[in-house]
Amino acid sequence: MNNPQTNSVSKFDTLIIGSGLAGLSLALKLADQQKVAIITKKSLLDGASAWAQGGIAAVLSPDDSWEEHIQDTHIAGAGLCDPATTRFVVEHAKASIDWLIAQGVPFTRDEDNGYHLTREGGHSHRRIIHAADATGLAVQQTISARVLAHPNITVLEHHIAIDVITGKKLGRKDNLCHGAYALNTLSDEIITISARNTILATGGAGKVYLYTTNPDTATGDGIAMGWRAGCRVANMEFVQFHPTCLYHPHAKSFLISEAVRGEGGILKLPDGSRFMPWHDERAELAPRDVVARAIDFEMKKHGLDCVYLDISHQPLEFLQQHFPNIYARCLDLGINIAKEPIPVVPAAHYTCGGLLVDLHGRTDVEHLYAIGETAHTGLHGANRLASNSLLECLVFAEAAARDILSKPAGELVELPLWDESQVTDADEAVVISHNWAELRRFMWDYVGIVRTTKRLQRAQNRIHLLHEEINEYYNHFHVTSDLLELRNLVLSADLIVQCALSRHESRGLHFSKDYPDTLAQAVPSILTPPNFSTR
C-alpha cells in the first residue's frame, strides 16, 4: 500500500514531540500564550512517566535541606553530576511540587493531614512525595486531562516523528530547527509541521535492551533525531538497570518500586539468606547501580534466574495501603507479597545520558530543545538518584517555558512536503523484526551491567552492520513505525557503545572488567556529530 501525502503544512508556535511529564507540563505552561502541538506515538498516557511508581524527590520536610538532597545526588552520581544543574533542580523542586498540587494531583496524605513522604535508596531523608505506588499515573492522568481541555493545545496521537527539519536540511545558511515530519501510524500519512520552537521529549532508549522496565515507546527517538540534526550527546554509557523488575513470564516490564526496599524490603537468595550487606554497608538502601551489580553477581555466582525481595514482615494493611498496585498485580500472578517473597531481576530502566542541553533545555541547534529523559542536563551524573527523574522533567519544563516565552517569536518557514517519489513498498518486513531481536539480544549480552572492551567491540561490529542494512532499507522503502523505531534504536545503541568504549574506568553505572578502578577526575563522555556547528 502506498503512503499518501498531505498537501498542506500545519503551523504552530511550539511543537512538542513526546507526551511524558516533561512534554505535557511544558505544553500547559506555554498554552495560555501560544498555539502548541503534541506528537505522541500511541495514546497520551502510553509513556514511561505513567509507569513511574515511587514518586518525586523534593525537600519538603523541616528536618531535610537542599544541601543534603544535593549531597545525596552527587554521591549517587559518582562525582559526575554537574554542580550548577544539581543545585538548580533541587532548589526549584518545591515550586514544581506546588505546581502539581495546584493542578490537582492527589498525593498521598499522612496522619497529620500533610503529605506522606517515603524514603528510597541513596536518600538520607524521607523526601519522596507520592500517590500510593502509582505516582506517575496519577500525575499523568491529572496533567493530561488539563492538556486535553486546553483550547490552544492540539494532540496528535498515533503519530511518530520521522526527523526534525533544520535549516541545513533545507539548504539554508541558518542552523535553526523549523519543525518536523511525522508519520500517522493509523493512516500511513506523512504530515509536515512548521514550528517556531521544537522540543524533543520522547523519553529514553530502554528498548535497546532485551529486558527493560520501559514501555514499548522508549526507542531513543529524540536522542537519535537530535544527533542527526547536529546535537552533541553526553554520558550515554550510563544506563541505569533497575534492580527489581518482577520475574514472571506474564509480567512484562512490571517494576517493583524502589520504595519497597525503602520500607524495609530485604533481598534474599532462594535459600532465604540475605546478601546485600556483603556488597555494601548501606545494604538494600544502596544506590541502584550497587544493588543491580550485586544481584547480577549473585545470579551469575549461583546460576540463578532471579533473586527474591521479601517485604512479607510488614502487616497486610500496610502493604495494601502503600503498595496497592504492586500487591494486586503480584496477587493476580499468584504471588502473595504479604506471605512470600517477590522474584526479581535487574532490567534496563533509565537512560542517564542524552542530548547535551543548558539550564534552559536548549540543545546545540537553535530553537530545538530537549527535556526529560531525552536530555543530558548533568543532574544524574554516572547514576540517577531515585525519584530525581520526574523532578527533572518538571524543573526543565518550567525552565524551557520561561526561555521560549521570553524571546521574540521566531520565523515560521515554508516547509517542503515529504518526498516519497523515489521509494517503493517493502517486500520483506521480516528483516526489521529480525534486526530488532538481534540488536536487543547482543546489547543485553555485551553492553549490560558488567562490560568488557571485547564485548563492547563485538557489539559495535554488529551495530555497524545493522546500521548499513537499516539505512539502505530506509532509503529505498516507505517508512513504517517499526522501521523508524529500529533506525533510532540502532543509532542510540551506537552512541551507548561509543561512550562506553571511550571511558577507561569504572564509574557509577558503567562497570568495566578491563578498567575496574575509578579515575581521580570525573569527566563526562561527550560525542560530537559530523554535522555539528556552534550556535
What residues are annotated to the active site?
288
DSSP of 134-185, one letter per residue? -HHHHHHHHHHHHHHH-TTEEEETTEEEEEEEETTTTT-S--BEEEEEEEET
Which cell numbers in the block locate residue 338?
Answer: 504479604
Which residues, other chains included, contact 346 with Cβ-Cβ below 8 Å and sequence gap of 6+? Answer: 211, 241, 242, 243, 244, 245, 292, 295, 296, 449
For strands 354-356 and 375-376, give the pairing.
parallel
**What is the spatial order of strands in the sheet that 233-234 belongs to?**
375-376, 354-356, 233-234, 526-527
Which helix (H) or strand (E) element contains residue 391?
A: helix 389-406
Q: How far apart are CA 32 and CA 153, in angstroms?
A: 9
Q: How far apart are CA 176 and CA 180, in angstroms?
A: 12
Residue type, 63: D
Torsion of CA 464, 469, 470, 476, to 10 degrees: 150
Residue closest to 54 by CA, chosen among 116, 131, 139, 106: 131
Which cell numbers in the block locate residue 420?
Answer: 516519497
Which helix (H) or strand (E) element contains residue 118?
A: strand 117-118
110 three-class SS: coil
Q: How far apart are CA 382 and CA 352, in angstroms?
A: 7
User: Looking at residue 55, what DSSP letter applies?
Assistant: -
Residue type, 480: T
Specify whether the CB–CB gap between 501 and 456 falls below 8 A: yes
Which residues, other chains included, contact 364 with Cβ-Cβ below 8 Å and sequence gap of 6+? Answer: 230, 231, 232, 356, 532, 533, 534, 535
